[in-house]
């Protein structure tokens, strides 16, 4: 399996997870970023013993950066990845 294929699979998977996380809204927005950030923070609070805690925290910080710079879809994708890492994604 090539690295490009693997990377594409990861991106596709995280996009699907993110899409389900904010499917109720037609377009990514700052309000969706705020909602997802709150979800991730709450999930991290209750999952501090998770083996993926540090990775999830990094994903949350990256999501924060993207959302703060107006790249809402990218930010939401990272928030969804953070939730998935700690097993909180639905």
Residue 9: pLDDT band by 50, 70, 90 thresholds? very low
- Using alpha carbons only, what angle is made at residue 63 by residues 57 and 65, rounded to the nearest 5 degrees? 110
Across 11-15, 23-27, 63-67, least confident range: 11-15
SS3 of residue 78 by DSSP: helix
Q: What is the pLDDT of residues 39-68, one digit of tens each?
A: 999 999 998 888 999 999 999 999 999 999
Q: 17, 84 in Cβ contact below 8 A?
A: yes
For residues 71 and 28, the answer to whether their CB atoms sit within 8 Å is no
Q: Is the pLDDT of residue 18 over 70?
A: no
pLDDT of 85 higher than 50: yes
The pTM score is: 0.70
């Amino acid at each position: 399996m090539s690295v490009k294929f693997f990377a594409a699979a990861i991106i596709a998977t995280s996009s699907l997870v993110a899409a389900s996380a904010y499917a109720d809204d037609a377009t990514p927005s700052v309000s969706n970023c705020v909602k997802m950030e709150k979800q991730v923070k709450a999930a991290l609070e209750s999952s501090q013993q998770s083996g993926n805690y540090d990775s999830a925290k990094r994903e949350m910080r990256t999501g924060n950066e993207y959302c703060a710079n107006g790249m809402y879809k990218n930010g939401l994708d990272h928030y969804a990845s953070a939730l998935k890492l700690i097993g909180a994604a639905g």
